Amino acid sequence: MSDVRELFATLTGRVADGVWSAPGRVNLIGEHTDYNEGFVLPFAIDRRTVVAAGRRDDGLVRVASTFAAEPVRVELTDLARVHAEGRLRDWAAYPLGVVWALGEFGVDLSGVPGVDLVIDSTVPVGAGLSSSAAIESAVALALTQLWGLDFSRETLARVGQRAENDVVGAPTGIMDQSASLLGSADAAVFLDCRSLVAEVVALGFAEAGLVVLVIDTGVRHAHATGGYRDRRAACEAGAAALGVPALRDVGIDDLSGARDLLDETTFRRVRHVVTENQRVLDTVRTLRTDGPAAIGALLDASHVSMRDDFEISVPELDVAVEAATSAGAIGARMTGGGFGGAAIALAPADAVPAISDAVEKAFATRRLASPTRFTVTPSDGARRDG
Ligand code: ADP
Ligand code: MG
């Protein structure tokens, strides 16, 4: 935190007005349910993106990041044109995209003073922990408070999503930004992706002595984007064939009838989404009635459904999940969009070293590159730090 203040001082020659931060997230359960208007249950993690911000009075936005040597600058009154010309690119598309999106949400960009932003982060990039939502949420909250704007955190989540969809060009839902902005210590964000109503649900990991081990396989498949698009299309086709606006409207009891109306592959895609939605609801209920140690079977079933019905797992993720479960995890599943990325294992804190070793050995036996492993703790969402 002090580092980002120092960097701000070095780059701008003055003292930052404040420091804000926002976390990455892990999705505990509810995969590929967001665009089907269903349910997700992510939590904010103890890896954060930090933004030092200082007002300017000349209508200029300058952003710098520890990721990039060169700061990027743009006139606020030029931002719409620069975006229209496709010149908001690379990492700067995230923070400047947020500024642009604030304009789309009603902020008069010729009436705000300007800003210097300096960004640092401990959220690993591209590991499925949403470093993108972390940077968007940190910038969105910083600008809101620095410029005295009147936006709820729910609206800021939509601002971040808008930046990611329209400026970065990634067709993502609102889960990541919601987790990053609405998360709370030892709690998850239970989000209804149709109504966008979010509820904070206590996890109780601390009291139960549980942690989440992230196992990043390091696998990043080039066909992930195509695979994601294909699964979305299958879900849309399934919903159309079943005569519903979205798969959210299909319940477990409807599945036997759906089998006759869908081809075999589409049926399995639909079954994943329908059962996954139910598993999110069951997880929330189980957390409330029996506590976190009782949700393991739901996590395991989620993985099996993604592996067999949705077919978005890869051998490395299956190996990680199997090894973690055999070595004492309460439950484990791949998390994120699939075709690589990370798995998570919910485990007693004292079992983590053994689980981590077992995963390492399982990978070595199969001649797979050793996966990166680290624990995450459910943490507070975006906030002002100083
Ligand atoms: P992730 O799964 O981590 O969200 P994305 O591809 O969605 O992966 O977003 C990662 C991108 O976000 C990076 O390539 C970079 O452009 C941007 N980004 C994330 N964190 C930072 C940061 N601290 N500074 C600059 N850019 C960042
Ligand atoms: Mg992302």
**Is 65 labelled as part of a ligand binding site?**
yes
Structural domains for the chain: 2-201 (3.30.230.10), 204-376 (3.30.70.890)
Nearest bound ligand to the CA of residue 72: 1
Nearest to 163 by CA among 73, 78, 95: 95
Q: 300 by DSSP, 3-state: which?
A: helix
Phi, psi of 16 (to 5 degrees): -65, 145
State the closest ligand 1 atom to the C-alpha of 91, by its place in the atom list counted from 1: 16
DSSP codes joined into one string, 304-356? HIIIIIS----HHHHHHHHHHHHTT-SEEEEESSSSEEEEEEEEEGGGHHHHH
Measured at the CA of 173, the angle between CA 192 and CA 26, to 5 degrees, comes to: 80
DSSP codes joined into one string, 49-69? EEEEEEE-SSSEEEEEETT-S
Which pLDDT does position 2 carry in this prediction?
62
Beta-bridge mates of residue 343 = 215, 334
Successive 10-residue mean pLDDT values, the chain, 386 residues:
87 97 98 96 98 97 93 97 95 98 97 97 90 97 97 97 95 92 98 96 98 94 85 97 98 97 98 98 98 98 98 97 98 94 97 98 97 97 97
Ligand 2 center–CA 117 separation, angstroms: 20
Beta-bridge mates of residue 121 = 49
**Is 131 labelled as part of a ligand binding site?**
yes
- In this structure, the number of other CB atoms found within 10 A of the CB of residue 283 comes to 25
Q: Which of 3, 78, 150, 176 is catalytic?
A: 176
263 secondary structure, DSSP code: -
Task: Measure Cα distances from 119 to 144, 183, 283, 376 in Å.
Answer: 16, 21, 36, 22
Phi, psi of 217 (to 5 degrees): -70, -20
**Is 128 labelled as part of a ligand binding site?**
yes
State how far the Cα of 331 lies from the Cα of 344, in Å rounded to an integer.
8
State the closest ligand 1 atom to the C-alpha of 341, by its place in the atom list counted from 1: 2
Q: Is the dihedral of CA 93, 95, 99, 101 positive or negative?
A: positive
The answer to whether 373 touches 216, Cβ cutoff 8 Å, is yes
Residue at 191: amino acid letter: L
Phi, psi of 73 (to 5 degrees): -130, 145
Ligand 2 center–CA 108 separation, angstroms: 28
Which pLDDT does position 357 carry in this prediction?
98
Which pLDDT does position 221 carry in this prediction?
81
| pTM, full prediction | 0.95
Phi, psi of 366 (to 5 degrees): -90, 10
Give the gyration radius of the chain's Cα atoms: 21
Ligand 2 center–CA 89 separation, angstroms: 15
Nearest bound ligand to the CA of residue 216: 1
Query: Which residue's CA lies nearest to atom 7 of ligand 1?
Result: 132
State the closest ligand 1 atom to the C-alpha of 172, by its place in the atom list counted from 1: 7
